[in-house]
A and B are shown apart, each in its own frame.
Chain A
Amino acid sequence: MEAIRTKELVKKYKDLTAVKGLDLTVHKGELYALLGVNGAGKSTTIKMLSCLTRPTSGDAEVMGHSIVSDSVRVREIINVSPQETAVAAKLSVRENLEFIARIYGSDKAEAKRKTDKMIEDFSLQDVENKRAATLSGGWQRRLSIAMALITEPEVLFLDEPTLGLDVLARRELWHFIESLKGRMTIILTTHYLEEAESLSDRIGVMAHGVLCAEGTAAELKEKAGTDDFEEAFIRIAGEGVK
């Protein structure tokens, strides 16, 4: 089954066309990485798919629901971990998690149960009663991702999830993201090419608002005629830019 299917998706900002008739399909349970240099259109695509901005034309279905005509339902079944850490500064770790669970419809008991599980899964026990503002960047990022997962979304958007994390924290997060594979559909945007290569089932490369190439990391390397994924990305994205 398809988790996401876009149909001629276009987004224009005045004179700039950020996304040009995108046709993209992501299968259910797949981890799909969207790569591209800055300005390629991947962030705009994620914004449209997560109902943050309306497409200028075209449409997309997320688990069968239109982002244009049924965005309320789409918002209920997705969650987003934004690029920058997105936590409520003056709430504690536990309060942040319970807050998100409850605005997605959990009652008090269910929110507490889900929060306990997230605290355990993300090893947040030592900081659960600390205010988010007092946590280090790594802990805040961990909390931010836990807040995206607590609602048990069917589709999860991870926007640069490991940006700014040290090597150990990044590897730890990779392991956690890998453990989610198959349980939900994940759309990952990242500038770390090794992250995309290591984690993704399939990778899409965007340039100038267009999907230039799509496939597994091995398929993309083969297509670009190189064994090095970074080199393959440069060739594909470079050609897309030309």
Chain B
Amino acid sequence: MRVLTFSSRNTKEIMRDPLSLFFGIGFPLVLLVLLSLINRSIPKGQGPDLFEIEKLAPGIAVFGLSFLALFSSMLIAKDRTSSFVLRLFTSPLKPVDFILGYTLPMLPMAIAQSVVCFAFSLLFGLKLSANLLLAVVVNIPIAVVFIALGLLFGTVLNEKAVGGVCGALLTNLSAWFSNIWFDTSLVGGVFSTIANILPFSHAVNAARAAVAGDYAAIMPELWWVIAYAAALTAAAVAVFAAKLKKN
């Protein structure tokens, strides 16, 4: 009950910030429109196939989720630097309540982001099928990865620093190593190895497999992302608990 109360408060804090809505939903849609229009003006077969709507839509859906790290980090950092958190730290809330309370409101947002992205992609030729619903579900583990990263950074950095780290650095890094904008295997070498180690390209590959109905290809990619999600969430709880003790 306490977790739900806390997460309800956090939902209101995020939803009442218009910038969150713009970056979470508006910005990825702008990219989707621009890239689709560019792709349309390129003769068939001559443009990169990554920008075909069947590949672009799941990629943009994952990219949009990277902003969740910014929301969760800003929220936790803002709370930490205000006296409001002192009030919460003296309340019966436990570290795990805090992390769940910050995470739970983000999940419906993540699902809404993916749904809006795929729905919008229908206007650009994406075929409506049950696979799109599957892709929304497949995107949940990477959403948890971004949320947990945000909680980790929000716990250790101040409000200004998390804006830079999660708003600029993380969104860029996750985009470069994601397979969304270019095929990381074509770069080769260390870059390709790092892309394979990190969860971002695996998440995009899993979402693309879901949209394409290539069910057998989903789980081998998704396990990678699920492992990261579990490890990062556990790390967020541990770091938050340590920070709480250190006060």
Contact = CB atoms under 8 A, between A and B. Distances in A.
Interface of A: 47, 50-54, 72, 75-76, 78-80, 82-91, 95, 99-100, 102-105, 131, 147-148
Interface string B77-114: 00000111011111111100000000000000000000
A223 to B, nearest CB: 33
A82 B83 contact: yes
A78 B89 CA distance: 12
A90 B17 contact: yes
B12 interface: yes
Given A75-B92, A103-B6, A90 B87 contact: no
Can you list the 6 inter-chain pairs with the closest CB atoms, starting with the nearest?
A: A86-B83, A84-B83, A102-B5, A82-B83, A90-B16, A86-B87
Contacts of B82: 84, 86, 89
26 contacts: A51-B90, A52-B90, A52-B247, A53-B247, A54-B245, A72-B94, A75-B90, A75-B91, A80-B86, A82-B83, A82-B87, A83-B83, A84-B83, A86-B87, A88-B9, A88-B13, A89-B13, A90-B13, A91-B12, A95-B12, A99-B8, A102-B2, A103-B6, A103-B92, A104-B91, A147-B87
A82 B86 contact: yes
B90 A104 contact: no
B90 A99 contact: no
A212 to B, nearest CB: 27
B92 A52 contact: no
A170 to B, nearest CB: 19
Nearest to A132: B84
A88 B5 CA distance: 13
Contacts of B247: 47, 52-53
Contact of A104 (B92, B94, B245): B92
B1 interface: yes
Nearest to B9: A99
A16 B245 CA distance: 18
A185 B9 CA distance: 30
Contacts of B94: 72
A80 B88 CA distance: 10
Interface string B1-41: 11001101100110011000000000000000000000000
B90 A78 contact: yes
A79 B90 contact: yes
A86 B84 contact: yes
Contacts of A79: 90
Contacts of B87: 80, 82, 86, 100, 147-148
A51 B17 CA distance: 32
Interface in B102-147: none
A133 B8 CA distance: 18
A54 B244 CA distance: 10
Interface string B201-220: 00000000000000000000
Contacts of A75: 90-92
A78 to B, nearest CB: 7
Nearest to B244: A52
Residue picked from B2, B86, B93, most chain A C-beta under 10 Å: B86
A47 B2 CA distance: 23
Contacts of B91: 75, 100, 103-104
A76 B92 contact: yes
Nearest to B2: A103
A177 B8 CA distance: 31
Given A103-B91, A148-B87, 8 more contacts: A47-B247, A52-B90, A52-B247, A54-B245, A79-B90, A88-B9, A91-B9, A105-B2
Interface in B124-181: none
B16 A87 contact: no
B90 A105 contact: no
Nearest to A51: B90
A90 B13 CA distance: 6
A32 B8 CA distance: 36
Nearest to A107: B1
A129 B2 CA distance: 23
